[in-house]
């Protein structure tokens, strides 16, 4: 057990535990706050994968924007769904079976793959992932088109969200 | 070093938990929370495949960034729909939104 593995295990358990709280807790505000904890755990996993930029984007976009948006939505739609009513529908056991089967199927499928237990090669010395990422995202030979399409998608979503949520009265 | 399998199993478990939330929760906002968990599981997979594959191509990270953008778009439109539905029908329980059922 190296130190990295211990850190991975701690934060993997932290991530999965808070994810379980997200889907089971009764109070939706608490669910949104547990989602923040889950996203933070995933950011630590990105850091362990040498993807520093992804970790920062995870904190800024997911925790800073999306989780806050969820908290706003929960506060705007507060209803007495908390105390005696069940938060889950009556077929929850079927959902649990489907989820467990999906997990088992994924692990079973991956287990038969030859690269399942390979370890990472060391990052080449002098390799700067962030500047490489910037180059690839803005170079016409690489991914500039998906990058621009994503910006158009965000603009369309912005306009659509304002239109849908706008109070006409 | 951490083998690739650890990340993949973590992502599969996170995906399963998110799927459970999507299938089981009654509140529409909670269903969207489950979708977020599933998208995060996919992102863990993409970034770990980038790290354990050819690092110099950056394809996995670029793909994950596109997933970020799509997730932000999905959440903003989804929550706007939930708020709009709440304003008209005064409920966010997915079972009660059965206007199109016949």
Q: What is the pLDDT of residues A15-44, one digit of tens each?
A: 999 999 999 888 888 889 999 999 999 999
Lowest mean pLDDT: which of A55-59, A121-125, B56-60, B74-78?
A121-125
**Residue at B85 is within a domain:** yes
CA gap B81, A28 in Å, rounded: 18
Residue A17, domain CATH: 1.20.120.1200
Chosen domain end from A80, A113, A141: A80
Q: Does position A79 have pLDDT exceeding 70, yes or no?
A: no
**Residue at B101 is within a domain:** no
- Considering its fold, how many domains does chain A have in total? 2
A82-97 per-position pLDDT tens digit:
555 677 778 888 989 9
**What token pair was written down for A155?**
């603009």
Q: Which value does ipTM take for this structure?
A: 0.90
**Residue at A86 is within a domain:** no
Q: Does position B24 have pLDDT exceeding 80, yes or no?
A: yes
Expressed as residue numbers, the domain containing A52 is: 1-80
A138-164 per-position pLDDT tens digit:
888 888 999 999 999 999 999 999 998
Chain A within 8 Å of B32 (Cβ-Cβ)? yes
Which pLDDT value is given to residue B93? 82
**What token pair was written down for A140?**
């016409």
Which pLDDT value is given to residue B98? 81
Q: What ranges in chain A are assigned the alpha helix state H?
A: 3-24, 28-48, 52-57, 67-76, 92-111, 129-138, 144-165
- Our CA-based measurement puts residue A120 at a distance from the nearest CA of chain B, in whole angstroms, of 5
Chain A within 8 Å of B46 (Cβ-Cβ)? no
**What token pair was written down for A21?**
């709280």
Residue B39, domain CATH: 1.10.287.3510
Which pLDDT value is given to residue B77? 92
| Share above pLDDT 90 across residues of chain A, in percent, rounded to a whole number | 41
Expressed as residue numbers, the domain containing B74 is: 4-93
Of A4, A96, A115, the CB nearest to B20: A96
**Residue at A104 is within a domain:** no
**Residue at A150 is within a domain:** yes
Chain A within 8 Å of B14 (Cβ-Cβ)? yes
CB atoms within 10 A of CB B29: 23
**Residues facing A88 on adjacent strands:** B25
**Residue at B15 is within a domain:** yes
- The dihedrals phi and psi of A88, each to the nearest 5 degrees, come to -115, 150
* CB half-sphere exposure, A52, CA atoms < 13 A: 5
Q: Report CA A153 to chain centroid distance, whole Å.
A: 19
Average pLDDT over residues A96-122: 87
**What token pair was written down for B24?**
């089981």
Shared domain for A70 and A11, answered yes or no, is yes
Cβ distance A45 to B62 less than 8 Å, yes or no, reads no
**Residue at A74 is within a domain:** yes
**Residue at A108 is within a domain:** no
- For B34-53, b/e burial (b = at least 16 CB within 10 A) is bbbbbbbbbbbbbbbbbbbb
Average pLDDT over residues B19-41: 91
**Residues facing B27 on adjacent strands:** B93
Rg (CA), chain B: 17
Mean pLDDT of chain A: 87
- Considering its fold, how many domains does chain B have in total? 1
Which pLDDT value is given to residue B95? 80
Cβ distance B77 to A161 less than 8 Å, yes or no, reads yes
Average pLDDT over residues A70-88: 73
Residues B8 and B2: beta-carbon distance below 8 Å = no
**Residue at A9 is within a domain:** yes
Average pLDDT over residues A121-150: 85
CA gap A11, A129 in Å, rounded: 23
Which pLDDT value is given to residue B73? 92
Which pLDDT value is given to residue B13? 94
- Our CA-based measurement puts residue A24 at a distance from the nearest CA of chain B, in whole angstroms, of 8
Average pLDDT over residues A46-50: 90
Cβ distance A65 to B1 less than 8 Å, yes or no, reads no
Q: Does position A80 have pLDDT exceeding 60, yes or no?
A: no
In 3D space, the residue among A60, A45, A13 whose CA is nearest the CA of residue B51 turns out to be A45
**Residue at A135 is within a domain:** yes
| Share above pLDDT 70 across residues of chain B, in percent, rounded to a whole number | 99
**Residue at B102 is within a domain:** no
CA gap A30, A13 in Å, rounded: 19
Which pLDDT value is given to residue A81? 56
Which pLDDT value is given to residue A76? 84
CA gap B28, B95 in Å, rounded: 9
Q: Does position B39 have pLDDT exceeding 70, yes or no?
A: yes
**Residue at A138 is within a domain:** yes
CA gap A58, A71 in Å, rounded: 17
Residues A132 and B58: beta-carbon distance below 8 Å = yes
- Our CA-based measurement puts residue B98 at a distance from the nearest CA of chain A, in whole angstroms, of 15
């Amino acid at each position: 057990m190296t130190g990295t593995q211990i850190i991975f295990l701690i934060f993997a358990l932290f991530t999965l535990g808070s994810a379980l709280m997200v889907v089971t807790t009764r109070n939706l505000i608490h669910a949104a706050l547990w989602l923040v904890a889950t996203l933070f755990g995933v950011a630590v996993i990105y850091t362990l994968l040498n993807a520093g930029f992804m970790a920062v984007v995870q904190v800024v976009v997911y925790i800073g924007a999306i989780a806050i948006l969820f908290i706003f939505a929960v506060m705007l739609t507060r209803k007495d769904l908390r105390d005696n009513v069940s938060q889950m529908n009556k077929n929850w056991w079927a959902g649990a079976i489907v989820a467990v089967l999906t997990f088992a199927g994924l692990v079973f499928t991956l287990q038969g793959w030859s690269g399942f237990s390979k370890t990472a090669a060391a990052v080449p010395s002098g390799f700067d992932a962030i500047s490489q990422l910037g180059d690839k995202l803005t170079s016409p030979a690489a991914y500039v088109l998906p990058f621009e399409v994503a910006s158009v998608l965000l603009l369309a979503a912005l306009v659509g969200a304002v239109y849908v949520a706008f109070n006409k009265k | 070093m951490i083998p690739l399998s650890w990340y993949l199993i973590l992502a599969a478990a996170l995906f399963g938990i998110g799927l459970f939330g999507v299938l089981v929760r009654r509140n529409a906002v909670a269903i969207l929370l489950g979708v977020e968990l599933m998208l995060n599981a996919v992102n863990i997979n993409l970034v770990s495949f980038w790290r354990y594959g050819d690092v110099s191509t950056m394809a996995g990270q670029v793909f994950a960034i596109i997933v970020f953008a799509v997730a932000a778009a999905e959440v903003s439109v989804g929550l706007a729909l939930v708020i709009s539905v709440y304003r008209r029908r005064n409920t966010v329980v997915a079972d009660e939104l059965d206007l199109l059922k016949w």
